Amino acid sequence: MAAEEQGIRLVAQHALTGKLLVIGDVPVEQLRLYSECGLLRCPSCGGELRLKAGAVRQHHFAHVSLELCAARYAEPESEGHRLGKLALYRHFRRDAPAAQLEWHVQLTDQRVDVFVPPNFALEFQQANNTAEEWRARQRLYEQAGLCAIWFLGQVRYSETRSEPMRPISLYDPSPVPRHIFEAAAGAFRIREMERAMLEAFPLLYYLDPYSQMLTILVPRSWQAQTLRAYRYRLPLSLCQLRPNGLWTPLHNQLGEKLLRNRRK
Ligand SMILES: [Zn+2]
């Protein structure tokens, strides 16, 4: 990944008013003016940001000097990752105007992709972490009193070629819907991060940052790199945050047993 991917932000802070300025929320002409006047600051490190608003890439802010921020957040983000977290932010703030993009958790010094009050931390995860790295992040969110909801990037979704997708059998004993939301049964390749997620929470969510469609896997069993699961697909726009977490229209149809948290 290019070095310039580092230190890219979607939120800037106005140097004089302290107001947070989110890409897409504020007219680009106004952001350009602030940028030219040197009035944009990074909410994390306080360094100066400049607006990058060309025709090709998603508009963003870039650090004039990266040193401070790079020391803190070493991991560069891809364009797909930025689009994914923007999609989450734009959808979920409709019901929660105080939602924040790229929110900094003071207590644990983490950066949350999207914070939605009262306590949701939405993460769009495309990069591959080890199980241990993922568990460490999850633990930090718990320490901060946050309920983390993980959306895997659609690039991580992988059907196993040797076992083609098929309709869910009428004789399948599980209480799952069979004819809605592109229902299918199949086998999927997963990595150790997905396995760690499944040990903590019973469903996997994949978000396509371009179409904003959510793919949901409801596990039947998993072994090594193979997950056998029911697959559903529906628009992110139909999903909501409710007190016990992410709610999708599928949740009305799924058996209680399948939705219960299966901590081991
Ligand atoms: Zn910074």
Residue 106: predicted pLDDT: 81
How crowded is the C-beta side of 187, counted as CA atoms within 13 Å? 10
User: Cα–Cα distance between 60 and 79 in angstroms, integer?
Assistant: 10
Question: Nearest to residue 48, comparing CAs of 25, 14, 74?
Answer: 14
Q: Are residues 122 and 38 in the same domain?
A: no
Q: How does pLDDT run across 150-184, given as a tens digit for each residue?
A: 999 999 999 999 899 999 999 988 889 999 999 99
* Range of weakest confidence among 1-10, 21-30, 120-129, 151-160: 1-10
Distance CA(109)–CA(105), nearest Å, equals 5
Q: Separation of 127 CA from ligand 1 center, angstroms?
A: 21
Grade residue 3 by pLDDT with cuts at 50, 70 and 90. very low
Residues 82 and 63 occupy one common structural domain: no
Do 39 and 144 have their domain in common?
Answer: no
Report CA(51)–ligand 1 centroid distance (Å): 14
Tokens at residue 124, please?
A: 């769009």
Q: Tell how far the Cα of 139 is from the centroid of ligand 1, in angstroms.
A: 25
Q: pLDDT confidence of 72, banded at 50, 70, 90?
A: low
Q: How far is the CA of 7 from the centre of ligand 1 (A)?
A: 6
CA of 73 to the centre of ligand 1 (A): 9
Q: For residues 89-107, give the mean pLDDT.
A: 91
Residue 26 corresponds to which amino acid?
Answer: V
36 and 163 in a single domain? The answer is no
Helix 131-143 crosses helix 192-200 at what angle (to 10 degrees)?
Answer: 40
Identify the H or E element spanning 218.
strand 213-223
For ligand 1, the distance from its centroid to the CA atom of residue 6, given in whole angstroms, is 10
Whole-prediction pTM: 0.86
State in Å: Cα 37 to ligand 1 middle. Answer: 18
Residues 171 and 230 both lie in one domain = yes
- Which whole number is the average pLDDT over 196-211? 95
Of the listed ranges 167-181, 187-201, 202-216, the least confidently predicted one is: 167-181
* Chosen domain end from 16, 42, 76: 76
Range of the domain at 125: 78-264
Average of per-residue pLDDT across 96-124: 91
Residues 245, 123, single domain; the answer is yes
Give the pLDDT band (50/70/90) at residue 75.
Answer: low
User: What's the total number of domains in the chain?
Assistant: 2
Average pLDDT for the chain? 90
In this structure, are 203 and 240 located in the same domain?
yes
CB 81 within 8 A of CB 153: yes
User: What's residue 2's pLDDT?
Assistant: 47
- Collect all residues with Cβ–Cβ distance below 8 Å to 199 and sequence separation of at least 6: 262, 263, 264
Ligand 1 centre and the CA of 124: distance in Å? 20
> What is the distance in A from the centroid of ligand 1 to the CA of 196?
31
Residue of 199, 153, 177, 184 lying closest to 251 (CA atoms): 177
Instruction: Give the separation between CA 229 and CA 208, rounded to whole angstroms.
Output: 19
Same-domain pairing of 66 and 180: no
Cα-to-centroid distance, 66 and ligand 1 (Å): 7
